[in-house]
Amino acid sequence: MKKTLFTRSLSLLALTGVLLAACAAPPPAAQPAAPAQPQPAAESQLPAGWKAGIPKNPPDRKGKKLVIRDVPKLIGIGYFAATTKGMEEAAKELGNIDFKTDAPTEAKIEKQIEFIDNFITQGVDVILFASNDPVAIAPVLKKALDQGILVVGYDADAQEDARQFFVNQATFEAIGQALIEDMVSQVGEEAEVAIVTSSLTAPNQNRWIEEMKKYASSKYPKLNIVTILPSEEDQQLAFKATQDIMKTYPNVKGVFGLSSVAFPGAADAVKQAGKCGQIAVVGLSTPNQMRPFVKEGCVKSVVLWNPIDLGYAAVYAARAIADGELKPGDTVLKAGRLGELKINGSEILLGPPFIFNKDNIDNFDF
Amino acid sequence: MATQAGRLTQAHRQRGLFAQQEAVIAAAILVMTFVVSLANPDFFSATNLLDIAVNTAYIAVAAAGMTMVIVSGNIDISVGSMLGVCATIAGELARNGTPIPIAFLAAVAAGGLIGAINGALVAYARIPAIVVTLGMLSILRGGLILVTQGRWIESLPEEFFFSQRSTLGVPNPIWVMIAVTILVGLFMKYHRFGRAIYAVGGNAEAARLAGIDPRRVYMFVFVMNGLLVGLAAVLYASRFTAIQSNAGQGFELAVISGAVVGGVSILGGTGTVIGALLGSLLISLIGTASIFLKVSPFWLQAVQGGLILLTVLVDVVRRRRRA
């Protein structure tokens, strides 16, 4: 039974497609937040252009006991265990708060919606969330607002009109600056450096690179970024790219690893080339990923935000909203030990990134 | 039956230059190394050439298995997930105190087991290989995420890092790559069962009439492929300080590209392991060369994709001439 030319061409076509897709596998793009719909001015004192959500006829909660429920993307991972830790700390400091984190064990939006729905039925005062999907989560959050429940996001936002405030863990600008400062502190102001990014089209990484370049060119004009190579979230590729950088640009004094895969991959290449201490590796990743390299001293510091502080700030924001101390249009939030946090529109900024190093890395497990 | 299979490939051999894709690729590798070394002499350093070979080793080992699968007229796109699963098994066992050789063997055995499931579904349930292995790709990847929860495997014992060591001055992965290529190459060329893979891939019905059971061949190639992917996973896992939780994503494409560029026809029936090795090497070489020549990385994927299209086109032209 001979295959017909047709089936052969067909299978050939299919395969070519697969292979081509391989060559240009696009990175999973970040979910674009849908444009927020203009909110009908429910309350007269709203600042012009305010797009964030407003709870409908919330009861007066000033100084009263608050029931706060936190629904992160999932539970059972170190990262959200850390945000919970910060929330518990804040709840204890503030007192008069009944706080609990409860969420699915997998990062699934359908399940997350169920949890939130249950809390609405129970009639809690505040829902905190880190969304698995900014668009899909919006209806259930709006339902909460409609019933007078306060809604505050952190870590991963929803559509702006589906929550009141969002605690933003790090701005692109702050991360870009922290990375450059960290590098300069290790290699000096006059040096050749290279970047290993995730994929060349990754939106977050490209924004960070943009901010890094902007900051470096104004403050450290002699810091020369010689090349930017992709690693496609593949450890092996990040490793290989760093090997090639060290050989092609023998004067390179530092390598940036801009993802939780690129950073350890780059660090491993420097380590296995025996160049720890000669070539600095700086980047963004989680403490767990980088712990072996930080312990060995091949990596001096890891730039990220502190999820404990992130959770802490979210609970302070919730209390302030309930007490009427945080209103649309405000520009600062007093957040306990974190001091005054800046507010940009409806986003509360956590401030400069956190630097993990040999001394503090063991306090974190994520 | 062996003689018939022999004659079949003999015929392919005589198709002139086009049929000698291995020679063309080998020449391309030499020319490219020469040209890039002229532009940047550091390219021709022993360290760099060894690095390229080591970076290719785990791809080439899996490409040897893939060659058998593709020659038999099938395909296995689950190898990326398989690599991740086998690497995780090796790492987890080693971290929990299992003797290193046993951890490595377990990874290889796991690969063989997964290959056997793929093979049985293709050979006996008669589901097309692309469907079976596409399913396996997702099942294994999902399972891996569930088990590792995205956590990398670290704190591995020092003896685990097989791929970071050398024997007689040559890094271990290179020895493994050479041994696998020679053994699988000899098997496919001279062993009766090896010849049967070509016969079935060339024309399954004719092979069946000649007394070869295609189902046994399919089963065999998938199991062998699984074992070799398990071996590749050992090379991969023992290379790095920590094992990535989603290791091997996109690996299937590197492996298939290597085989196809090396002249393994995706329509089955022709191709050699040495070709797959050379194809994998050429692709790695292009990647490193582009960095040495400071070519924008945006071009790299286009060049590699073009190379694959070109070789597939050559294959189609070759077949049309024969028809």
DSSP A159-170: -GGG-SEEEES-
Distance CA A93, CA B86 (A): 47
Nearest to A288 among B151, B203, B236 (CB): B151
Which residue's entry shows tokens 């000698």?
Answer: B20
Alpha helices in A154-306 (DSSP H): 172-187, 203-219, 235-248, 262-272, 287-296
The tally of domains found in chain B comes to 1
Which residue's entry shows tokens 């089936």?
Answer: A7
8 Å CB contact of B247 and A235: yes
The pLDDT value given to residue A8: 54
Nearest to A19 among B48, B240, B253 (CB): B253
The pLDDT value given to residue B7: 47
Low-confidence ranges of chain B (pLDDT < 70): 1-19, 322-323
Same domain assignment for residues A176 and A290: yes
Same domain assignment for residues A189 and A282: yes
8 Å CB contact of A235 and B244: yes
Distance from B200 to chain A by nearest Cα, in Å?
A: 12
Same domain assignment for residues A180 and A296: yes
The tally of domains found in chain A comes to 2
The pLDDT value given to residue B130: 95
Same domain assignment for residues A242 and A182: yes
8 Å CB contact of A247 and B45: yes
Same domain assignment for residues A122 and A153: yes
Mutate to test the interface with A, among B58, B79, B241, B300 (most CBs of A within 10 A): B241
The residue type found at A43 is: E
Domain range for residue B273? 2-13+24-322
Distance from A12 to chain B by nearest Cα, in Å?
A: 7
Q: How confident is the model at residue A1 (pLDDT cuts 50, 70, 90)?
A: very low
Whether residue B198 lies inside any domain: the answer is yes
8 Å CB contact of B48 and A247: yes
Same domain assignment for residues A244 and A130: no
Does A140 have pLDDT greater than 50?
A: yes
Nearest to B298 among A200, A245, A267 (CB): A200
The residue type found at A258 is: L
Whether residue A58 lies inside any domain: the answer is no
Phi-psi region of A188 (alpha: psi -120 to 50; beta: other; left: phi over 0): left
Distance CA A197, CA A257 (A): 6
Same domain assignment for residues A239 and A289: yes
Whether residue A138 lies inside any domain: the answer is yes
Does A9 have pLDDT greater than 80?
A: no
Domain range for residue A207? 172-304
Q: Could you report the per-residue pLDDT of A46-92, keeping only the tens digit for each?
A: 888 888 999 999 999 999 999 999 999 988 777 888 899 999 999 99
User: Residue B220, Cα to own-chain centre: how many angstroms?
Assistant: 16
Whether residue B261 lies inside any domain: the answer is yes
8 Å CB contact of A230 and B297: yes
Which CATH number belongs to the domain containing residue B226 in this structure? 1.10.3470
Same domain assignment for residues A165 and A179: no
Whether residue A5 lies inside any domain: the answer is no
Same domain assignment for residues A160 and A179: no
Which CATH number belongs to the domain containing residue A202 in this structure? 3.40.50.2300
Whether residue A201 lies inside any domain: the answer is yes
Nearest to B240 among A24, A229, A239 (CB): A239
Distance from A30 to chain B by nearest Cα, in Å?
A: 18
Predicted-complex ipTM score: 0.85
8 Å CB contact of B249 and A227: no
Whether residue B154 lies inside any domain: the answer is yes
8 Å CB contact of A233 and B239: no
Does A200 have pLDDT greater than 50?
A: yes
Distance from A86 to chain B by nearest Cα, in Å?
A: 22
The pLDDT value given to residue A38: 45
Selection from A168, A117, A158, A167 nearest residue A317 by Cα: A167
Whether residue A43 lies inside any domain: the answer is no
Same domain assignment for residues A155 and A222: no
Whether residue B18 lies inside any domain: the answer is no
Distance from A136 to chain B by nearest Cα, in Å?
A: 22
Are the CB atoms for A300 and A293 separated by under 8 Å?
Answer: no
Mutate to test the interface with A, among B61, B266, B317 (most CBs of A within 10 A): B266
Distance CA B201, CA B266 (A): 10
Contacts with B240 from chain A: Cβ below 8 Å? 235-236, 239, 265, 268
Whether residue A14 lies inside any domain: the answer is no
8 Å CB contact of A23 and B40: no
Same domain assignment for residues A215 and A232: yes
8 Å CB contact of A18 and B149: no
Whether residue A267 lies inside any domain: the answer is yes
Contacts with A232 from chain B: Cβ below 8 Å? 250
8 Å CB contact of A227 and B244: no
Average pLDDT, chain A: 87
Q: Could you report the per-residue pLDDT of A306-335, keeping only the tens digit for each?
A: 999 999 999 999 999 999 999 999 999 999
Mutate to test the interface with B, among A8, A12, A231, A236 (most CBs of B within 10 A): A236
DSSP-derived letter for residue A49 is: T
Whether residue B19 lies inside any domain: the answer is no
The residue type found at B187 is: F
Same domain assignment for residues A296 and A189: yes
The pLDDT value given to residue A61: 93
Whether residue A11 lies inside any domain: the answer is no
Q: How confident is the model at residue A14 (pLDDT cuts 50, 70, 90)?
A: low
Contacts of A148 (CB under 8 A, 6+ apart): A55, A56, A57, A58, A59
